[in-house]
């Protein structure tokens, strides 16, 4: 980082997310990219580099939740330009079936689709949660009144309150992915005075988008 000759050839900063990483490590990657003024990529997104040896794990709800939990942590702490999921091939497939069975999307497929549904051109924004077991990340553009708040509830169902939204936001669509639903739009919630109340269902990935 301190070598100007080497930096001539640096177009971006990249890291792999295997074995998750601590909050400190994920934050440091974001800080490195900011210091160098280069885009940041999580170029091998994933949690377990040996998972291809036991592929039935890819359909386990806990594995799916753990993976999206990591990606939301990366979005919040590292703020990358992109997470490149490793990998969209048979070794780490996000679909199931084949042979005599029709192909079908798994929970992991819907997690990626829901995260990718974040409107284009938004900026990472600060967001915090005062309860354990919930990981969240936020993206927005105040000039467009466009926002996406992603939450992973690793615990039991619970009521939640989101505060700090701009006055111009009146409604948010809510999407849920869990062991039974894939990016299911479960309705919309009203926003009043920058505050929205809703339910976080157990073991779920929830996104609020307008």
- Where does the pLDDT of residue 98 fall: very low under 50, low under 70, confident under 90, or very high at 90 and above? confident
Both 110 and 137 in a single domain? no
Give the pairing of strands 123-125 and 134-141.
antiparallel
Which of 143, 203, 194 minimizes the C-alpha distance to 172?
194
pTM of the model as a whole: 0.94
Number of domains in the chain: 2
Instruction: For residue 51, tell me if it sits in a domain.
Output: yes
Both 108 and 153 in a single domain? no
> What's the rounded Cα separation, in Å, for the pair 21 and 203?
21
> What's the rounded Cα separation, in Å, for the pair 170 and 129?
22
Q: What is the per-residue pLDDT across 28-52, written as a single tens digit (0 to 9) for each?
A: 999 999 999 999 999 999 999 999 9
Both 95 and 77 in a single domain? yes
- Contact predicate 137/75, CB 8 Å: yes
Both 105 and 170 in a single domain? no
> What's the rounded Cα separation, in Å, for the pair 114 and 71?
12
Q: Which residue has the tokens 């009043």?
A: 192
Q: What is the per-residue pLDDT across 103-112, written as a single tens digit (0 to 9) for each?
A: 999 999 999 9
* Chain centroid, CA 143 distance in Å: 23
Q: Which domain holds residue 175?
A: 123-209
pLDDT at 90: 86
**In this structure, what DSSP letter does residue 41 have?**
E
Both 97 and 135 in a single domain? no
Both 83 and 60 in a single domain? yes
Q: What is the per-residue pLDDT across 132-190, written as a single tens digit (0 to 9) for each?
A: 999 999 999 999 989 999 999 999 999 999 999 998 899 999 999 999 999 999 999 99
């Amino acid at each position: 980082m301190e070598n100007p000759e080497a930096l001539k050839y640096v177009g971006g900063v990249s890291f792999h997310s295997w074995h998750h990483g601590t909050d400190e490590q994920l934050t440091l990657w974001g800080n490195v990219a900011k210091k160098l003024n280069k885009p940041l990529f999580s170029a091998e997104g994933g949690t377990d580099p040996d998972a291809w040896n036991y592929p039935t794990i890819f359909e386990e709800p806990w594995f799916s939740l753990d993976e999206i939990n990591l990606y939301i942590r990366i979005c919040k702490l590292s703020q990358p330009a992109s997470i490149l999921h490793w990998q969209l091939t048979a070794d780490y497939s996000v679909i199931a079936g084949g042979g005599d069975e029709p192909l079908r999307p798994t929970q992991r497929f819907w997690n990626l689709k829901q995260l990718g549904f974040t409107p284009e051109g938004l900026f990472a924004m600060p967001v915090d949660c005062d309860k354990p077991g919930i990981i969240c990340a936020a993206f927005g553009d105040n000039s467009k009144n466009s926002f996406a708040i992603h939450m992973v509830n690793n615990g039991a169902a619970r009521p939640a309150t989101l505060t700090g939204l701009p006055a111009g936001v009146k409604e948010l669509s809510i999407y849920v992915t869990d062991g039974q639903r894939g990016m299911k739009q479960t309705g919309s919630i009203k926003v009043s005075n920058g505050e929205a109340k809703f339910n976080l269902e157990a073991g779920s990935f929830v996104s609020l988008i307008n």
